[in-house]
Amino acid sequence: MDSKDIQSMMANLMQNAQKLQENMRNAYQEVADNSTAIVQGKAGGDLVVAHVNLKMQVTKIDMQPALFEEKPEVIAELVAGAVNQGLAQAQAAMKQEMMQKAKNLGLPAELLAQMRG
């Protein structure tokens, strides 16, 4: 095998890696754009419920009337906690969706294991 063969193989490998990266980027965008999934994050029991889509957007926040009997600092903490939990749930749901897409693209099991974190 001479240096031209090695250069050709490396160029081919880089081309395939770029194609795979583009496919994964497109798959991510497709999932984010087409998913109607809404997940919830909760705090203070159910005093605050944050609804989050897979685009990592908070779409709605429900607050029970009893919440407003709390001090402003407590309310702020509970809202932040619900939003953060909702975002974590949305990230986990997106990861699951992307693992399925990656599997459908024929990625090796080793790469899928790395995606699981």
* pLDDT tens readout for residues 55-103: 899 999 999 999 999 999 999 999 999 999 999 999 999 888 888 877 7
Query: Could you give the 3-state DSSP secondary structure of residue 53?
Result: strand
| CATH code for the domain in which residue 55 is found | 3.30.1310.10
State pTM to two decimals: 0.74
Residue range of the domain that includes 61: 3-116
Q: Which helix (H) or strand (E) holds 6?
A: helix 3-34
Q: Is the pLDDT of residue 45 over 60?
A: yes
The count of structural domains within the chain is 1
* pLDDT tens readout for residues 94-103: 888 888 877 7
102 touches 115 (CB < 8 A): yes
